Structure 1
Amino acid sequence: MEEGPMGERIGVFGGTFDPIHYGHLAAAMGALHLAGLDRVIFVPAGQNPLKAGRPITPAHHRLAMVELAVADNPAFAVSRVDIDRPGPHYTVDTLSLLSREYPGATLLFIAGLDAVLEIERWRDYPTLLRRWPILAVTRPGTDLAQWEALRRRLGPELAGRVEILAIPGVAVAGRDLRDRARQGYPLRYLVPDAVAAYIREHRLYQPD
């Protein structure tokens, strides 16, 4: 058990990270600043039940890329909580396990607004929202009409647990990066150099 200082505010950033890129890192840094977090813990997904139809890169590669990406930032850390247990993995269970690992800390879940818009598909989402606030990251100027509709469905108690963070970021999508790597295009300036080198070394995202 890793015990942080009492009252520490920890952002929990879950994702497939296939691969991790500068968009993820900019979102984490923005959340750290705007929400007054003490640190951000990245949690690479093991098996995401909402993405069960898409094959993903083996967990050990995705974990290694996240570790390389955050290595030079003391405010960033990585958790294996989802990778080291059998799936499928649900956010409410992940946060429950991390709450035991960091007693006394306030955990806030970081996710893209696009993911939060599907929260009604998440397992036991009312319990999740009541126990852990969500920081929904989006870019400035994003149309929030879908969020307003969801907010009305959730009601004031649950919707009040979601904070929208408009963070200027890097418009990068994992699917585009995988396609670029598959076609032999460089990933420099889109992912950290160490991550780009890892992808080349292990020939990730190459056609079978």
Structure 2
Amino acid sequence: MKTGADRIGIMGGTFDPIHNGHLAMAEAVREAFSLDRVLFIPSGKPPHKRRSEIADKQHRYNMTVLATNSNNAFEVSPVEVEREQLSYTVDTLKILKEEYKDSEIFLVMGADALCDIESWSRVDELLKLCRVVGATRPGIDIDEFKREIEKIQRQFNVQILHVHVPSLDISSTDIRERAKRGSSIKYLIPEEVEKYIYKYKLYR
């Protein structure tokens, strides 16, 4: 039986739209590290994307809620969509550390994002606020990924956890392109999210 503080996974992203690959990654990490819950955080104003490039933040939040409803260990936080400022992960983590004072926080990142972490805002501060979990994704060279983890660990004097995720070669970009040209997106995303996209004519 587990004792001690809650273990909370943080899964951020634009989720434009959220898809089954995101959900499989979150569940794999939850199981691997015995997390009590995974908190999905749709970004409000991501600094690396223009507003015109992504769907409205309320649509992205609503789709994330629909996608995670069936898993009692999954929750969705509006912390970034309610904020008017740019969405920097370090600021979000500081807010969550205040809200979940007695919890251990695990920041879940895809391997591609982890390999780019040096470019993130105030990365030294960020790495002190959480434990980082790097999740492998299709197309990632595992040996190169491990070398990158070792480099980050030496550079910032932190431990990076990692987990292998089932290979679901799905991307939000591909789903948007399929929706735009009228191709099927069935089985790439949860059914409720598919219905939502059609209802509001997203990505057309």
Same fold at TM > 0.5: yes
Amino acid at match of 1:204: L
Within 5 Å, which residues of 2 pair with 1:1-208? 7-52=5-50, 55-139=53-137, 142-151=140-149, 153-156=151-154, 158=156, 160-206=158-204
Shift of 1:100: 1.0
Q: Which shifted more, 149-158 or 191-200?
A: 149-158
Q: 1:141 to 1:50 in 2, by over 3 A?
A: closer
Which amino acid in 1 is paired with 2:135? Answer: V
State the shift of 1:149 in Å.
4.8
Query: Which amino acid letter does the alignment assign opposite residue 87 of structure 2?
Result: H
Alpha carbons 1:69, 1:195 under 8 Å: kept: yes
Structure 1 residue 53: Cα displacement: 7.7
Query: How has the CA–CA distance of structure 1 residues 154 and 107 changed in structure 2, closer, same or farther, with 3 Å as cutoff?
Result: same
Q: Retained in 2: the 8 A contact 1:40–1:75? A: yes
User: What letter is aligned with 1:91?
Assistant: T
Q: Which moved more, 1:98-107 or 1:51-60?
A: 51-60
Across the aligned residues of Structure 1 and Structure 2, the Cα RMSD in angstroms comes to 2.0
Shift of 1:103: 1.6
Q: Distance in 2 between matches of 1:6 and 1:92?
A: 25
Distance 2:139 2:60 in 1: 31
- Determine if contact 1:32/1:40 at 8 Å carries over to the other structure: yes
> Are the equivalent residues in 1 in contact too, given 2:138–2:169 (CA < 8 A)?
no
CA shift, 1:79, in A, is 0.2
* Distance in 1 between residues matched to 2:41 and 2:14, nearest whole Å: 8
Counterpart AA for 1:162: I
Structure 2 Cα separation of the partners of residues 152 and 54 of structure 1: 37
Letter in 2 for 1:23: G
Structure 1 runs, 4 residues or longer, greater than 2 Å off: 50-54, 139-142, 144-161
Tell me by how many angstroms 1:52 deviates: 3.7
State how far apart, in whole Å, the 1-side matches of 2:63 and 2:138 are: 28
Does the CA-based 8 Å contact 2:153-2:159 persist in structure 1? no
TM-score, normalising length: structure 2: 0.91
**Structure 1: runs of 5 or more not aligned:** none
Query: Aligned with 1:83: secondary structure?
Result: coil
8 Å Cα contact 1:6-1:104 kept in structure 2: no
User: How many angstroms apart in 1 are the aligned matches of 2:24 and 2:51?
Assistant: 28
Measured after TM superposition, the shift of residue 146 of structure 1 is 4.2
Q: Provide the rounded CA distance (Å) in 2 between the counterparts of 1:12 and 1:123.
A: 17
CA distance in 1, matches of 2:163, 2:100: 24
Distance 1:56 1:140 in 2: 23
- Deviation for aligned residue 1:88: 1.0
Query: Partner letter of residue 30 of structure 1?
Result: A
Give the Å deviation of 1:87.
2.3
What's the offset of the Cα at 1:119?
Answer: 0.5
Distance 1:114 1:7 in 2: 30
* C-alpha separation in 2, matches of 1:135 and 1:159: 15
Is the deviation greater in 130-139 or in 177-186?
A: 130-139
